[in-house]
Amino acid sequence: LTTKGINVHYISSIRDEYEWANKLLDCLGINYVRTDFWYKDIAKDKEVYNYRIIDRWLNDLNNYKHIKVLGILDYYYDENEENKLIDSEDEENALIESYRNLKNKYPMITDYEIINEANTNRNGYDGYITDETIKWYADLLYKISNEDSNINIYSSGTSTSIPVENTRISSEDFYR
């Protein structure tokens, strides 16, 4: 993507410090910022989207034309769901709709990663580590990547060579 990028996970927690954070990114010579867009933070009501925090951050970041954003579309549909994976048509459609809303609202973002570290359990979220769940993830990637040829879609897997039963699969097996 670039020779000077940074990974941040602060969109929903940055609140009033976004201007300072963006100045820091600029002073560091950052060209690319990889950050989360959590569905649970954007669609609190599942039907009503609230982009207030992202709007403030991105509107200020637009002052730094050289800084591009890679949006990580992290997601789960229902906090009460046990596995917190996209493994139904309703969940898949909800994520695709969330992607469409982000893409239309922020046309300056042309790169999206679909689910951070998809091949491992993390932070209470199950990973796509079985053949069945990997098929759901692959289907989701396929559908989103065919939405718009001007948008780059990336898959993400934690770089790990050692699988741990029921926790993660190796990067090699995940991408196979």
Tens of pLDDT, residue by residue, the chain (176 residues): 456 888 887 665 665 688 888 999 999 999 999 988 877 667 666 667 778 878 888 889 999 999 999 998 876 556 666 777 888 898 888 889 888 988 999 999 999 998 877 777 766 667 788 888 889 988 999 999 999 999 999 887 765 655 566 666 666 666 66
pLDDT at position 77 is 54
The reported pTM is 0.83
The DSSP H or E segment spanning 73 is strand 68-74
| C-alpha torsion angle, residues 35, 37, 40, 46 (rounded to 10) | 180
Helix (H, G, I), strand (E, B) or coil at 109: coil
pLDDT at position 46 is 60
**Extended strands (E) in 97-148:** 111-114
Tokens 């933070």 -> residue? 41
pLDDT at position 70 is 92
Residues making up the chain, counted from first to last: 176
Calpha distance 9→72 (Å, rounded): 10
pLDDT at position 13 is 63
Strand order of the β-sheet with 32-38 is: 5-7, 32-38, 68-74, 111-114, 152-155
Residue 123 tokens, joined: 């932070």
112 Cβ contact partners less than 8 Å away, ≥ 6 residues apart: 70, 71, 72, 73, 99, 102, 103, 144, 151, 152, 153, 154
With contact defined as beta carbons under 8 Å apart, do 38 and 75 qualify? yes
Tokens 């927690």 -> residue? 13
